[in-house]
Structure 1
Amino acid sequence: MKWFSIAGYLLLGGMLATSNCFADSDQDVAREAVRAGEILPLNEIMKVVQRDFPGKLLEVELERKGPLWVYDIKLLQNDGVVRKMRYNAKTAVLLGSKIKPAGKARNDLSASEAGEGS
């Protein structure tokens, strides 16, 4: 597989830590990419993320897009906004970002329950 999910900070000593939530082959691929200098360890990316977008990590995926590795990160910011970001895994450069108010899903559900929805 070319991607894996990480439910939180899964790093020890600058390397991706093991977890039962993804296959050994995914772990091996990610570790080898870190060792080979193809990607930065997640803790280095998270330093950049937390500096620019303080909040709680919700989800991380590491994907290979052709020759480019990317970290897709979902974060609950301190102001209640859910932000999805994509970072170049080798350079920690932000490639894109989207935001969604955290309460939007609850508000949409409340409207439909009240008969106000479509």
Structure 2
Amino acid sequence: MKRLAVPPLICLSLLSAGSVSASADDGDDRDHEIARKALSKGHIRPLTEIIDTLKSGFPGQIIGVELESKKNGTFVYEFKVLAPDGKLKEVKVDAVTAKILKIEDDD
């Protein structure tokens, strides 16, 4: 599994631009191209759509997002969300269907 991080400032620009971009934690400059190609080929939905769906199904403030590339070629968005009760949650969302796959405490 490879994680493509989307830093908060890029996240804000993505919300206004309606597209997906990514930069990696490990310095791999190709990660943003992987995300762009996945979006253009329809392998992932735009981040704005995913966020809209997430907000309707899970309350809280999004403070971070990563795009995970699975070995089977699928993608999962991993959100860090500050829940209304003050707890930090990790919410995994299918990058195609926008379905929430998993919610867990983020320690």
TM-score for both structures, normalised by structure 1: 0.71
Query: RCO higher in 1 or 2 (8 Å CA, sep ≥ 6)?
Result: 2
Unaligned runs of 5+ residues in structure 1 are 106-118
Structure ID, larger Rg: 1
- Kindly report which structure 2 residues correspond to 1:1-118, keeping only aligned pairs within 5 A, or say none: 2-8=2-8, 9-10=11-12, 11=14, 12-17=16-21, 23-65=28-70, 66-99=72-105
Unaligned runs of 5+ residues in structure 2 are none
Q: More strand by proportion, 1 or 2?
A: 1
Residues 1:7 and 1:56: Cα distance change in structure 2 (over 3 Å): farther
Identity, % of aligned positions: 35
Q: Give, in angstroms, the shift of residue 67 of structure 1.
A: 2.4
Contact 2:92 2:100 survives alignment (8 Å)? yes
RMSD, matched Cα:
2.5
Distance 2:59 2:99 in 1: 17
* Structure 1 residue ranges, 4+ long, deviating more than 3 angstroms after superposition: 17-24
TM-score for both structures, normalised by structure 2: 0.77
